[in-house]
Chain A
């Protein structure tokens, strides 16, 4: 299948500063590509370039294989739709707002009603059709903005941090509904966000953008499980990154020297090689007391002492000194049951398949 939209050797410079450099990026029909990265990484610039709102300084954007530029972009732009962080509604009824894009295309007024109504219903805001847009809550307004975009039946949907301004429950409800709609309709989507949770919830593929460069483009699970670099690892939530030598091999297992002990990892590496071990805190479980007391199938059991407890939403982040700092994510309940507190001895356990090794030289 040929790509819906493609960037080829795209670069954007603002003055002397290069803010974006994308050698190649293609979005396949029906897929949801989530571009994640910290603020200022160039995500919105990338989306503006794809959406033909900003011309790249170099390179080209191809829509369905044809090179396009903002200057002659109206016809192509009408095959896309965008939603931004702010709903940017006009001061009119919800119904009129959703019909706006269709009006701009001078669609026949007669056919508009049912199409608008259908999309209002899909976003669960059918009852609000006659309400004035300015009386809506943030979540409702963003649903209107999404309905306004999707009623256009775009070949490509561009979303720029559409959930960033919403409170947690509203955001989760909307992400769930939007994900279901996008998948049911097979709408090709590029979502830009700094929130890795949104990437996990919606992305078929994830592109990690930092300092204007794509560091990794891969299937969502792969990016989170096997980040391509330390920067990517930190951004996708890896908290323990340990630079350590490989001291042996046992079949498919690599043996690593980590502080006073060893760690087994189910990923090949050459003995003598130095690697970076990446471990997500949610892959680590804790047991009270020393390793002897622990009952677990996990290959790795490291004794340590709790250094800090950091409440983090529904979980608690536990920093353990195992000869090196190791982070674990546990529930508040576990904290109580294991009597976790600073200075308490625990055993950190994780499977050999949990860590991911970053190798400086590809074997």
Chain B
């Protein structure tokens, strides 16, 4: 029986990363779908970068940011919070790796909302905030949920970025994919096998749920 700590850690990291992804990704997706602003094309390209860049490159830059001397790391360090090589770094890594999936899905969802409905609400005196919560998000929710599930699965599976910024410290930052790698390196195939099966089964169930969701009609 393998140590299940990496499973719980991965679930916790992926869960927190998904929340963070939603908090950052939804406003970005909405802005990309509905607003014209300088630098919009650059942002749209930048959003997809994490999908195509080598994880080591992403990890390298993320590490520069959150290292104790890095611009972000310093601020957190001043507040007494350590980022690099902690589970927090793993959350950031998972977020960077998965946010593009949420943004692209949610952006498509927001774009598919009939703009006239938002305009009608606007002419009736609804605030932009109110329009987002009562029209845009409810009508785009299917895409948003799909993007969220994909992002969560991707966050669960992150390997390279996590290894770069959080390391693979057993009992601290060793997530499920890292634990599997570790087991294989040490030729503990039974444990590797068990964790790998668990990962495949869990993600399969999630994606099946997503498939069902896509067929739901209201």
Contact = CB atoms under 8 A, between A and B. Distances in A.
A86 B128 CA distance: 21
Given A53-B119, A84-B116, A74 B124 contact: no
Nearest to B123: A82
A61 to B, nearest CB: 15
Interface in A135-161: 148-149, 152, 158
Contacts of A78: 125
Given A86-B116, A104-B130, A80 B121 contact: no
A88 interface: yes
B125 A105 contact: yes
Nearest to A75: B125
B34 interface: no
Contacts of B116: 84, 86, 88
Q: How large, as a class, is the contact surface on chain B?
A: 10 to 19
Interface string B98-118: 000000000000000000110
A77 interface: yes
A51 interface: yes
Contact of A158 (B121, B123, B125, B130): B123
B124 A81 contact: yes
Nearest to B128: A74
A101 interface: yes
A81 B116 CA distance: 14
A100 interface: yes
A88 B117 contact: yes
Contacts of A152: 124-125
A53 B124 contact: no
A158 B123 CA distance: 9
A74 B125 contact: yes
A53 B119 CA distance: 7
Interface of A: 48, 51, 53, 74, 77-78, 80-82, 84, 86, 88, 100-101, 104-105, 148-149, 152, 158
Given A82-B123, A84-B120, A101-B125, 13 more contacts: A51-B123, A53-B119, A74-B127, A78-B125, A81-B124, A88-B116, A88-B117, A88-B120, A100-B124, A101-B124, A104-B125, A104-B126, A104-B130
Shortest 9 CB-CB contacts between residues of A and residues of B: A82-B123, A101-B124, A78-B125, A88-B120, A104-B126, A104-B125, A105-B125, A104-B124, A101-B125
